[in-house]
Chain A
Amino acid sequence: MTTHYLILSGLLFAIGAIGVLTRRNAIVVFMCVELMLNACNLAFVTFARQVGNLEGQIIAFFVMVVAAAEVVVGLAIIVTIFRTRRSASVDDVNLLKY
Chain B
Amino acid sequence: MESPAEIIQHTAGGAIGLSWLMIVLPLLGALILLVLNRRTDRWGHLLGVAMSLASFVVAVLAFVELLGLGEAERRQAVHLYEFIPGMVDMGLLIDPLSISFALLITGVGSLIHIYSIGYMSHDPDRRRFFAYLNLFVAAMLLLVLSDNYVGLFIGWEGVGLASYLLIGFWQFKPSAAVAAKKAFVVNRVGDLGLLVGMFIVWTSFGTLAFADLGTKVGTASDGTLTAIGLLFLLGACGKSAQLPLQSWLLDAMEGPTPVSALIHAATMVTAGVYLVVRSGGFFFPEGSPQALAVAIVGAATLLAGAIIGCAKDDIKKGLAGSTMSQIGYMMLGAGLGPVGYAFAIGHLITHGFFKANMFLGAGSVMHGMNDEVNMRKYGGLRKHMPITFVTFLVGYLAIIGFPLLSGYFTKDGIIETAVHHQPVLGWLAVLGAGLTGFYMSRMVFMTFFGEKRWDKDAHPHESPAVMTWPLIILSIGSLFLGGYLILSNRLMLWLSPAVGRPEVLPEFHFLSTPGLATLGLVAVGAAFAWMRYGRATVPVVAPRGSFLTTFARRDLYGDAINESLLMRPGQWLTRFAVYFDNRGIDGLVNGLAAGIGGSSGRLRRLQTGFARTYALSILIGAALVTGALLLVGNI
Contact = CB atoms under 8 A, between A and B. Distances in A.
B326 to A, nearest CB: 83
A93 B615 CA distance: 14
Interface string A1-45: 000000000000000010011101000000000000000000000
B610 A21 contact: no
Q: Mostly helix, strand, loop or mixed at chain A's interface?
A: loop
B609 A97 contact: yes
A97 B619 contact: no
A21 B605 contact: no
Nearest to A96: B609
B615 A95 contact: no
Q: Mostly helix, strand, loop or mixed at chain B's interface?
A: helix
A68 interface: no
A91 B610 contact: yes
A90 B612 contact: yes
A96 B619 CA distance: 21
A84 interface: no
A80 to B, nearest CB: 16
A21 B619 contact: yes
Considering the complex of A and B, which 7 residue pairs feature the smallest CB-CB distances, nearest first?
A97-B609, A94-B609, A98-B604, A98-B607, A90-B611, A97-B607, A20-B615
A21 B612 contact: yes
Contacts of B607: 97-98
Interface residues of A, number: 13
Contacts of B612: 20-22, 24, 90-91
A69 B619 CA distance: 23
Contacts of B605: 98
B265 to A, nearest CB: 78
B610 A17 contact: no
Nearest to A24: B612
Interface in A51-98: 90-91, 93-98
B619 A17 contact: yes
Interface in B579-613: 604-605, 607-612
Given A98-B604, A98-B605, A93 B616 contact: no
B619 to A, nearest CB: 6
Contacts of B616: 21
Given A94-B608, A94-B610, 4 more contacts: A22-B612, A93-B611, A98-B605, A98-B607
B68 to A, nearest CB: 98
Nearest to A22: B612
17 contacts: A20-B615, A21-B615, A21-B616, A21-B619, A22-B612, A24-B612, A90-B611, A91-B610, A91-B611, A91-B612, A93-B611, A94-B609, A95-B609, A96-B609, A98-B604, A98-B607, A98-B609
A76 B609 CA distance: 21
B623 to A, nearest CB: 10
Interface in B276-335: none
A89 B604 CA distance: 24
B224 to A, nearest CB: 74
B237 to A, nearest CB: 71
A24 B608 CA distance: 16
A98 B600 CA distance: 11
Contacts of A97: 607-609
Interface in B601-635: 604-605, 607-612, 615-616, 619
Contacts of B604: 98
Nearest to B622: A17
Contacts of B619: 17, 21
B296 to A, nearest CB: 80
A17 B604 CA distance: 26
A94 B17 CA distance: 94
B626 to A, nearest CB: 12
A95 B616 CA distance: 19
A21 B609 CA distance: 14
B613 to A, nearest CB: 9
A6 to B, nearest CB: 15
In this complex, which of B604, B608, B611, B616 has the most chain A Cβ atoms within 10 angstroms of its Cβ?
Answer: B611
